[in-house]
Structure 1
Amino acid sequence: MKLNLENKRALVTGSSSGLGKAIVNLLAAEGAKVIVHGRNEERTRAVANEIIATGGIAEIALGDLSTEEGAQAVADQVLAHGPVDILINNAGGYAHTTWKEATADVWKNTYETNVLSGVRMIRHLVPGMKTLQWGRVITIGGGLAIQPTASLPDYSATLAARHNLAVSLARQLKGTGITSNVVAPGAILIPSVQELITKLAPSHGWGETWDEIEKKSVEALVPNDIGRYGRPEEIAGAVAYLCSTYADYITGSVIRVDGGTVRCL
């Protein structure tokens, strides 16, 4: 399917590795002019160079979006070459915290990283989309926003905030030609996740081969109807669809790509 993304300029925050890298690679393959963002110049430039080597168009923007100064620096780098048509708010992170470990300062830092980072980029870049009378803002959320667990309280709360702000933004952008949506992944198999699960496997009796380990660890940790972890490319596919002209009639929506992990509507 041709997604009609040629000549669209897209910033994917946190795209020097993992899920963000998969998204920026697919958008570039669909003809978008992508901006790879990260804090580490070597990793960020490597992703951009890979895209260029395969015939895509890519530039980079460096900076820490969890601070006002860092976000401003990223916006300045991006806007120096013109407005963006597409903003993918993917950047974020979490620590494996419990309620006891998640102090007020931890909560503040998690909100700066996961919520205010996206708010900053929306404020910097959406005004330019309004001049184009077309745009896409896609926020990467997650199932914990809807179905939180006892652990990761600060992270789960920030995911809920990301979902909420994306829908509020959609209401604000009524009639502008700009849509705002959420893609909510389930547990996604990125290298660090596979490494962690493989280390845990012997003590939990999950098997020896990856096929065995994946199936049994999913059953134990994130049971879903598909019986495996999601792949970054599957999330990227949902993002790319929402960026396309085929999604003109979708805004304020949450698209879950989680194998059926979340049971509520």
Structure 2
Amino acid sequence: MDLELRDKRVFVSGSSSGIGAGIARYLAAEGTQVVVHGRNTERLELVRSELAETGADVVAAPGDLATDEGAEHAASIALEAFGGIDILVNNAGGSSPDHRKSWFDLPLGEWSATYEMNVVAAGRLIHRFVPGMRERQWGRVIQISSAAGIIPTSGQPDYGPAKAAMINLSMGLSKALAATGITVNTVTPGMIMTEGLMNFLRAFAAKRGWGEDTDRAAEYVLKGCGQTVDRIGQVEDIAYAVAFLASPKGSFLNGVNLHVDGGGTQSIY
């Protein structure tokens, strides 16, 4: 299927690895002009050069979106390269590196930092790119949330609420941009095979005396996670969903929170 994305200008935040890199690869393959972004310039350059070797029109825009200066630096590179952005994918985020994940042990300043690197970071790019979309009467804004934003856990006092706010952000912004030609949606991944998940599976296997048998660990985790699809998701699963929402063919979806989680979110929505 031709998604009619050729020559659309895309900014994918947090695309120096993982889900973001997968989204950038897929959109580049659809013929878009892509801005890849990240804080680690070495990893960012690896993704940029990989896409460039496929013939993609790609630019690297480093910057820490948790600061005004970092966001402005990255956005300026994108605008100078392509003159505007048609599709903004707010994938950058994360949580506090503090290992004290108890609701009462994690310092409150870390809660603020997590909100800043997820929600406010998205807001900075929205402020920078969406006015141009309004002038052109076409655009797409897609937030990447997490199952943690829908199903609260006992051990994510900062991350889960921040990701829930991303879902709220999409719905509110979709209403603020009603009848402008811009749609705003969320993709909420479940368990996706990234470097972070692989590290978790290694630790899980080692803790149970299974050595490096990550397949056994994955099978065990799958049985207990509530999924109705019997496999771990791949970054391409998220990329497919983003590409459809970004395309003109997805124009009747607005304010949607699309769960791409193998049926793991057991709710009516």
Specify the TM-score bucket, using the shorter chain as the normaliser. Answer: over 0.9
Cα deviations by residue, 1:84-121 (Å, 9 ceiling, x for unpaired): 00000000011452212322101110111111000110
Of 251, 254, 257, which aligns to 1:251?
A: 254
Query: Which residue number in structure 1 is paired with residue 51 of structure 2?
Result: 51
- Segments of 5+ residues of structure 1 without an aligned counterpart are none
Query: Which residue number in structure 2 is paired with residue 11 of structure 1?
Result: 11
Counterpart of 1:13, as a letter, is S
Query: Which residue number in structure 2 is paired with residue 179 of structure 1?
Result: 183
Query: Which residue number in structure 2 is paired with residue 60 of structure 1?
Result: 60
Query: Which residue number in structure 2 is paired with residue 201 of structure 1?
Result: 205
Query: Which residue number in structure 2 is paired with residue 165 of structure 1?
Result: 169
CA distance in 2, matches of 1:194, 1:50: 22
Q: 1:71 to 1:213 in 2, by over 3 A?
A: same
- Displacement of 1:151 after TM fit? 1.1
Q: 1:170 to 1:206 in 2, by over 3 A?
A: farther
Alpha-carbon RMSD across the aligned residues, in angstroms, is 1.5
Give the secondary-structure state (helix, strand or coil) at the position aligned to 2:143.
strand
The answer to whether the 8 A contact 2:149-2:161 is kept is yes
- Segments of 5+ residues of structure 2 without an aligned counterpart are none
The alignment's TM-score, normalised by the length of structure 1, stands at 0.95
CA distance in 1, matches of 2:163, 2:210: 30
- Displacement of 1:206 after TM fit? 6.1
Counterpart of 1:244, as a letter, is S
Query: Which residue number in structure 1 is paired with residue 104 of structure 2?
Result: 100
Cα deviations by residue, 1:3-27 (Å, 9 ceiling, x for unpaired): 1110000000000001100000000
CA distance in 1, matches of 2:102, 2:6: 45
CA distance in 2, matches of 1:50, 1:208: 30
Runs of 4+ in 1 over 6 A off after TM superposition: none
**Identity across aligned pairs (percent)?**
42
The answer to whether the 8 A contact 2:10-2:88 is kept is yes
Counterpart of 1:87, as a letter, is L
Counterpart of 2:236, as a letter, is E
Counterpart of 1:27, as a letter, is L
Counterpart of 1:176, as a letter, is T
Query: Which residue number in structure 1 is paired with residue 131 of structure 2?
Result: 127
Cα deviations by residue, 1:111-147 (Å, 9 ceiling, x for unpaired): 1111100011001100011121110000001122221
Query: Which residue number in structure 2 is paired with residue 77 of structure 1?
Result: 77
The answer to whether the 8 A contact 2:202-2:213 is kept is no
Counterpart of 1:224, as a letter, is Q
CA distance in 1, matches of 2:149, 2:200: 23
Aligned residues between the structures: 264
The answer to whether the 8 A contact 1:206-1:216 is kept is no
The answer to whether the 8 A contact 1:11-1:84 is kept is yes
Query: Which residue number in structure 2 is paired with residue 235 of structure 1?
Result: 238
Query: Which residue number in structure 1 is paired with residue 222 of structure 2?
Result: 218
Cα deviations by residue, 1:163-184 (Å, 9 ceiling, x for unpaired): 0011100001111100000000
CA distance in 2, matches of 1:191, 1:38: 16
The answer to whether the 8 A contact 1:206-1:217 is kept is no
CA distance in 1, matches of 2:183, 2:209: 46
Give the secondary-structure state (helix, strand or coil) at the position aligned to 2:158.
helix
- Displacement of 1:207 after TM fit? 8.0
The answer to whether the 8 A contact 2:204-2:217 is kept is no
CA distance in 1, matches of 2:185, 2:217: 34
CA distance in 2, matches of 1:86, 1:46: 22
The answer to whether the 8 A contact 1:91-1:114 is kept is yes
